Amino acid sequence: MIAIGAAIALNACASSPVALRGTADLATVIARASGEVAVLDTSNKQFTGIIGGLGDLSHASIVYARDGRFAFVFGRDGGLTKIDILSHKIVVRTLQAGNSIGGAISQDGKLVAVANYEPGGVRVFDAETLELVADIPTTIDGGPDRSKVIGLVDAPGNRFVFSLWDTGEIWIADFSAGNTPSVTRYQNIGIQPYDALITPDGRYYIAGLFGEDGMALLDLWHPQSGPQRILDHYGKGEERLPVYKMPHLEGWAIAGKRAFVPAVGRHEVLVIDTETWQEVGRIPVHGQPVFVMAHPDGRHVWVNFSVPDYDTVQIIDTQTLAIDGELKPGTGVLHMEFSPRGDQVWLSVRDDNKVVGYDPYTLKPIAELPLPSPSGIFMSDRAGRIGL
Amino acid sequence: MIAIGAAIALNACASSPVALRGTADLATVIARASGEVAVLDTSNKQFTGIIGGLGDLSHASIVYARDGRFAFVFGRDGGLTKIDILSHKIVVRTLQAGNSIGGAISQDGKLVAVANYEPGGVRVFDAETLELVADIPTTIDGGPDRSKVIGLVDAPGNRFVFSLWDTGEIWIADFSAGNTPSVTRYQNIGIQPYDALITPDGRYYIAGLFGEDGMALLDLWHPQSGPQRILDHYGKGEERLPVYKMPHLEGWAIAGKRAFVPAVGRHEVLVIDTETWQEVGRIPVHGQPVFVMAHPDGRHVWVNFSVPDYDTVQIIDTQTLAIDGELKPGTGVLHMEFSPRGDQVWLSVRDDNKVVGYDPYTLKPIAELPLPSPSGIFMSDRAGRIGL
């Protein structure tokens, strides 16, 4: 049975009491063309409300406060907005930079960090008030230029880890002693890191490289050992296809003892053994992969693709590495997100202006909800997940 | 800085509006002598309220509904109670058996299962109404006797897995096709399984044995291969110490590539490689371990002990297997629970009638809250965790 939801309007009624409810089954969905974030009730399979006025969300992401009620929206235009997913309101908003790409929340929930392109660097804010508490410019050789920052994640011990696109570095900013971080720089990690993930336990930080074929691995338990190159030359000297959409790396790449990551400019998913960090397989797929996400039970990974192949999602068996299933949800499948125990998966289908829920075991649709230009979907369960 | 909380009384005021809040930072704490459950706000480090009338909680546990607001309390007297942790109320309560030991919630959140000693078996209830939907008696050889059930967990695919103390079996009850389960029995798994855990991805079910030294492992991806004995004869023929308190197994036993489990009747924690399932180490500890729980960052496991050594908690480095730290929180440390990202750990100290919070990195106390005879502590984040 599919629940068809009606489109919902901005909640303008400030005086109605908001119904008491839990937050664990809620998710947020970016409506990228209209600067809005919709709140999805995954138990009732309906939107509960929508929050507008969030600026340029053409590339945006969300992290959650430790209570699961408040969330932080990182907008492309440098907007940083704290929202309340229960009352569907903006709590605090700041335009903290000219152009930014993502963010993270600290382990203790007190600090929110933003990865900025312009000016290059990381800015860190008090999670309660969004007051600036630290500014980490990613200067290049002590000169006036600053590197774009990508791949910003939180790590255990109240640290933030991020990479520098222009200079090929990984930095760790340690806030465990207070609001003035101690910063450690790791240089020569590779050419043009474009995104990064941290393993679910927060031990390994893995940056994907765009300027060459390979990834950089940093063991945060032994960072003094420095970055290690993995999957080196995975392109085998072959010419890369034009890349229209950068792949994305998330902690959900890990399934059991393996990591599944998108190859850049190739129609392949690469499989890494997380004990040896060696490549143990590669899977030919439908197009250039954008997101490769493991189901919480680790048995399958789901893959979506860049234009022009973004009408398709493939489902790979993590043991056999075979493609077990395929979905054609519509045009512009931008993101996928599993419910925390894996009973549902939600897909945003941008060009069809809808969000579709599926039973990931039977592949039957369970809901289809209209939303203009949906993109990222974020379960509030991420409030309790290192690196997300 | 330690927050000292005042004792709180039963909230008898039904007409006050309950303040809107998230649920992700809440936990429940069993007050085992008074049949009450207190709700702990881990952000403000205070109790928000207490729910009474829960019967015999001398051994009790809690699972959460998928929304994180409702929770199910399994009491020793067979009581099954649905509570609301926001309004501090009982929603529904049933006395569903004479004597029971624990329970689980299904992957899709629709079913709650209870492990019963008397009458032996598993009963399954609608999570909304607590109406009985299935009854699975654990009959012995088709006769009138029924085995006690222990080690009941949920598994992916809307299954429940549990073990039979009297007959040495593991059963899988599969509810994926509806409310009449298909049940598969695995016999001869070992003598007197006393508890079990499921790995965080829901793949491996591991039952600890009491009647002999060893554990039984069942790969739920390939259950037809049957149970496999691991850690066989770990006692090496040595006489076991008298066991005053059974150890407990939880999914938090897994840290990275290893599982850390209590030895029965020995002052040891056993270390298992989760690739080969071979013993790779054993750690001499302060007393007979009861709970062995990994910090979410996987870097340490925390161990508490049975009487008479239950004034101590030891902290083990999962790489070196050395004892890194020790706490003496008070007498009767019954349970430990980490906040989801690992910024806090909470301990129940029964004989000192208090719950104590610590920073697990500095080992400094962050809160001390009075509560009569506290035992189990359960973060509401468990709403999104397979097997918990």
pLDDT tens column, A162-187: 999 999 999 999 999 999 999 999 99
Complete DSSP assignment for B69-80: SEEEEE-TTSEE
According to the model, what pLDDT value does residue A167 have? 97
B118 to chain A, closest Cα gap in Å: 30
According to the model, what pLDDT value does residue B250 have? 86
Q: What is the mean pLDDT of residues A24-41?
A: 98
According to the model, what pLDDT value does residue A192 have? 97
According to the model, what pLDDT value does residue A244 have? 84
Residue from the list B20, B43, B67 with its beta carbon closest to the beta carbon of A43:
B67
Report how far apart the first and last C-alpha atoms of chain B are (Å, whole number): 31
Long-range contacts of B54-57 (CB under 8 A, 24+ apart): B54/B79, B54/B81, B54/B83, B54/B90, B54/B93, B55/B79, B55/B81, B55/B95, B57/B30, B57/B31, B57/B32, B57/B375
Chain A neighbors of B301, CB-CB under 8 A: none
- How many CB pairs lie under 8 A apart between chains A and B? 174
Q: Is B297 on the interface with A (CB under 8 A)?
A: yes
Q: What is the mean pLDDT of residues A34-59?
A: 97
Tell me: pLDDT of B299 over 50. Answer: yes
Q: Which of A15, A176, A341, A382 to mutate to test the interface with B (most CBs of B within 10 A)?
A: A341
**Is the model more confident about A11 or about B206?**
B206
According to the model, what pLDDT value does residue B13 have? 39
pLDDT, tens digit, 9 for 90 and up, residues B30-63: 999 999 999 999 999 999 999 999 999 999 999 9
Identity of the residue numbered A127:
A
pLDDT, tens digit, 9 for 90 and up, residues A97-146: 988 889 999 999 999 999 999 999 999 999 999 999 999 999 998 899 99
B378 to chain A, closest Cα gap in Å: 14
Q: Is B373 on the interface with A (CB under 8 A)?
A: no
Which of A300-309, B161-170, B239-248 bottoms out in mean pLDDT, i.e. has the lowest? Answer: B239-248
pLDDT, tens digit, 9 for 90 and up, residues B322-333: 999 999 999 999
Q: What percent of chain B is predicted at pLDDT more than 90? A: 90
Q: Is A358 on the interface with B (CB under 8 A)?
A: no
Show Cβ contacts of residue B17 under 8 Å, excluding neighbours closer than 6 positions: A17
Confidence of residue A251 (pLDDT cuts 50, 70, 90): confident
Stated pTM of the model: 0.95
A41 to chain B, closest Cα gap in Å: 9
The maximal CA–CA distance of chain B, rounded, in angstroms, is: 63
Show Cβ contacts of residue A19 under 8 Å, excluding neighbours closer than 6 positions: none
Search chain A and give the residue with CA nearest B274.
A257
Chain B neighbors of A257, CB-CB under 8 A: 257, 275
Tell me: pLDDT of B2 over 60. Answer: no
Complex ipTM: 0.94
According to the model, what pLDDT value does residue A9 have? 35
Which of A2-6, A16-20, B235-239 bottoms out in mean pLDDT, i.e. has the lowest? Answer: A2-6
Confidence of residue B16 (pLDDT cuts 50, 70, 90): low
Tell me: pLDDT of A3 over 60. Answer: no
